[in-house]
Structure 1
Amino acid sequence: MSDGPVLPGVETDDDEEERIVCHVDADCFYAACERLREPELRGDPVVVGMGYEPGETVGAVATASYEAREFGVESAQAISTALERLPRRAALDPGAADHDPDLTPEETGHYRSVDMDYYESIAEEVQSILHDCADVVREVSIDEAYLDVTERTAWEVADGFARHVKDRIRREVGVVVSVGVAPTMSAAKIASDFDKPDGLTVVRPGEVRAFLAPLEVELLHGVGPVTARELRELGLETAGDVAAADPEPLASRFGERGRELYDRARGDDDRRVEPKGDPKSFSRESAFAEPVSDPDPKYEQIETLAAAVADRARREGALYRTVGVKAVTPPYDVNTRERSLPGPVDDPELVDRIARDLFGEFADEAVRKVGVRVANLEFASADQASLDGWERSSTATHSSDGDETTAGDAETSPTLESADPDGQASLEDWKRRRDEPRTDGEGTDATAPDSDAEPTDPTEPAEPPTDGQSSLFDFSDE
């Protein structure tokens, strides 16, 4: 695996004081997840979206693999356009409604419908590794996050640390990420896009402005096509041009955002990596080298993982109301089970006991990965609680929707309750948007809204997806 470019640094005496920020961005995440589930898709064009079935007329591409992009398929593209450029592989079947006898396999690609529950389960595995590798993690979407690793590594070995993060995610989860390392969040974001796919770019203190200077203006963090066009109208073609410009005309043209563009082009960004609110769950997972049927090694892992999540909850000052397990069976079927408790607790022995009990139905099955999770967290200053602290007369537990069940009965569901990824709309929102599509004036299918729209989070400027991964948020009304 290539390490990607590591820019020659200008070492300074202040290196130890500079923060070390990593931006981790999964490459074509939805397509990568589909390839985990169907390994035979590897190497072929893969398009993930909605509305591609014969007879459907409205839909859009959520992501396209790099192989699909060679045919001109792009994220947020009308699905009808994608199908014109890259017909479905299923159309080769003589019985298909859109069968074309003139097609060859080399001219077609695989289309898959968006499956957010599955993608979120894979994202949780990646996020678990990120939280294990960094003291501070800011998850900004289902497939990307910022890490502050200042206390975990040093600039002299930052490239090796980033490579370790990449290798863990590839080995333990099976997806590829690109990583950018820099002293600021905006520079780290740009660095992660610099050498995609499978990139690793390190921008050391003292070289940020030189790294940014030759980049075209649309590569600046927060600049979309509309802003890029307006900057060019001012004669500003590169980040270096913006950095050397008089900031007053920028402020007059773009308001407060103009000053921000000027600062970012100069490498000035004093934002800190901060989590977006309290986490909703803690989880740990572990994969076996090969699927395991023997119960003993699986239960040993469950015990280790249960202790790890309970310990993290205690260190974070969190109580939990739900305990869950995950069992991934071949080829890549994700099975989850959970149990709700009478109230919030901090009880590692209980986590272990419930996790082992929930995992019982998979004890004799071949399993390739196991996981343990505590959820429905409460962060309070109250004394630690255990199940024994609750009135022993309580004989009912509650599921997440309020239904009562007999105490001790397992709450089972196809998926564990999971946190809504930041900036990621639900599939229902996407479908609603699909049924009320925007048009470009010529009756075409829905496309992403203007990427220069005012962002909902001032710390995350709106920008187009640079790796072709279109968040379903792009198709929402927000």
Structure 2
Amino acid sequence: MSDGPRLPGVDEADEEDRIVCHVDADCFYASCERLREPELRDEPLVVGMGYEAGATNGAVATASYEAREFGVESAQAISTALERLPRRAAFENGEIDESDLDRGETGYYRPVDMDYYESVAADVREILHDCADVVREVSIDEAYLDVTDRTAWGVADGFARHIRDRIRREVGVTVSVGVAPTMSTAKIASDFDKPDGLTVVEPGEIREFLAPLEVELLHGVGPVTARELREMGLETAGDVAETDPEPLVERFGERGRELFDRARGEDDRRVEPKGDPKSFSRESAFADPVEDPTPKYELIETLAAAVADRARREGALYRTIGVKAVTPPYDVNTRERSLPGPVDDPDLVDRIARDLFTEFETDPVRKLGVRVANLEFAAADQASLDGWERDASGTGTGADEGETEESDPGANPVRDDRTAGQSSLADFS
């Protein structure tokens, strides 16, 4: 792979040069719950809806690997999950006869907390965007990265390991990473060695890697399609790759041709972001919780400069500036202030971020973040900020907690959106 810049048209000609990472969190919701409750580590843990006392309806959102050993699966009816893995709390409270089962045959249950999971996902996404120029976020716990311009095939395994280890070290959750020249193969590779896995499929190795895999492991093949493929005598990806594609097209339509191509490792899709980003943020954690205000404000200055610089490099203006302060054990606090119009002003980002953080300056803080949001990418001359800065230095209008931004920019010149405790960070990403 050339070390210099790519010439127009070269990307299409050198498909095998592409290096795609698929990053997939392992039992993400369960990992998040263990992050704030470390005593749940290595215990059977189920996260879902309908676990409240007396509830009978609901479904499993995530089952830890320990819980799966008891037959608990994602999307399983809550009643079935409870039969296979009774609540640990019920056992310890004497609601379950100890003669019927021992403590190790029970597990922990936590209700879904999407606001909290989104806050953790935002931390992961920040690392992904720092490690790759092109990121396609598929879901809260899954993303594709094109790292072609960041590394080379000879050291791609080390680069992927760096991403995986950095997420574990800085965020505290585990992910599995698959690396391949195509998106579909990278997706399969990330599932190959879970949890905390790393599988690299280099150019020229795709067919050999895919051939022995059962058909349901092919990207996009569910139970129904797998059963139909087996009815056609196709048990493995290698069988699909070596068959006549016409019967596949007759049975599955154009999707049959796609199955044939994917089984052969042929996938020309590019990693493309899903539209423009909604915000930019930078975060950094302290080795230990810090109480002294000085290092905290120094870090805010650094993060504010980095966020403003990225927005300028991306050609983005912003209408909202925010900070995040994570206090022990893992309480996420966010503060935001909205401006009457889009700006590009690094000094303003720094000043507002500092002002928003003042209520936490003496609290122990383990992580800090600065964010700009409500982005606009249209090319336009920047308006004067003199009047806006006078507004930004005021106290706002005292909007209610959780209020959304007014559609009329002049109706609410400056506002703090305050959400304490386990707050939603859906926009802090």
What TM-score do you get using the length of structure 2 for normalisation?
0.90
Separation (CA, whole Å) in 1 of partners of 2:230 and 2:415: 64
Query: Closer, same or farther in 2 for the Cα pair 1:391/1:56, shift >3 Å?
Result: closer
Aligned equivalent of 1:367, options 361, 365, 368? 365
Letter in 1 for 2:47: V
CA positional deviation for 1:309 = 1.1
Change (3 A) 1:17 1:257: closer
Identify the match of residue 418 of structure 2 among 386, 389, 412.
412
| Equivalent in 227, 230, 250 of residue 228 of structure 2 | 230
Greater mean alpha carbon deviation, residues 321-330 or residues 211-220: 321-330
Cα drift, residue 413 of structure 1 = 2.4
Greater RCO (Cα-Cα under 8 Å, separation 6 or more): 1
SS in 2 for 1:77: coil
Which residue of structure 1 lines up, in the alignment, with residue 406 of structure 2?
Answer: 402
C-alpha contact 1:21 1:183 (8 A) present in aligned 2:
yes
* CA shift digits 1:132-174 (9 cap, x unpaired): 0000000000001000000000000000000110111011100
Q: Percent sequence identity over matched residues? A: 80
Matching residue's letter, 1:29 = F
Structure-1 residue corresponding to 2:85: 86
How far did residue 389 of structure 1 move?
Answer: 6.8
**Match for 1:74: what amino acid?**
E
Aligned residues: 406
Deviation string for 1:270-319 (max 9, x for gaps)?
Answer: 00000001111111111111111111111111111111111111111111
Partner of 2:18: 19
Does 2:373 correspond to 1:358? no
2:179 maps to 181
Q: In the TM superposition, what whole-angstrom CA distance separates every residue of 1:373-427 from its partner, at most 9, and x where no partner exists?
A: 1111111111245633759789877863429887555331244662599xxxxxx
Which residue is equivalent to 1:76?
75
User: Which runs of 5 or more residues in structure 2 are unaligned?
Assistant: 1-12
1:57 is paired with a residue of what secondary structure? coil
8 Å CA contact 2:206–2:265 kept in 1: the answer is yes
Classify the secondary structure of the residue corresponding to 2:76: coil
TM-score under structure 1 length normalisation: 0.81
**Structure 1 unmatched ranges of 5 or more:** 1-13, 422-478
Sort the Cα spacing of 1:306 and 1:386 in 2 relative to 1 into closer, same or farther, 3 A.
farther
Residue 210 of structure 2 contacts residue 237 of structure 2 at CA under 8 Å; is this kept in 1?
A: yes
| Counterpart contact for 2:119–2:425, Cα < 8 Å | no
Contact 1:179 1:199 in 2 (8 A): yes
Residue 328 of structure 2 corresponds to residue 322 of structure 1: no
Per-residue CA deviation, residues 77-135 of structure 1 (Å, 9 max, x unaligned), is 1111111111111102437xx44443432111110000000000100000000000000
C-alpha distance in structure 2 between counterparts of 1:261 and 1:118, whole Å: 37
Instruction: Give yes or no for contact 1:92–1:101 (8 Å, CA) kept in 2.
Output: yes
**For residues 79-158 of structure 1, what are the structure 2 equivalents within 5 Å?**
79-94=78-93, 98-102=95-99, 103-158=101-156
In the TM superposition, structure 1's runs of 4+ consecutive aligned residues that sit over 6 Å from their partners are 391-398, 403-406
- Partner SS for 2:22: strand
3-state secondary structure, aligned to 2:67 = helix
Task: Please name the residue that 2:5 is paired with.
Answer: none
Superposition deviation, residue 321 in structure 1: 1.1
Q: Is the 8 A contact 1:338 1:413 kept in 2?
A: no
Aligned to 1:45: 44
| Residue in structure 2 matched with residue 60 of structure 1 by the alignment | 59
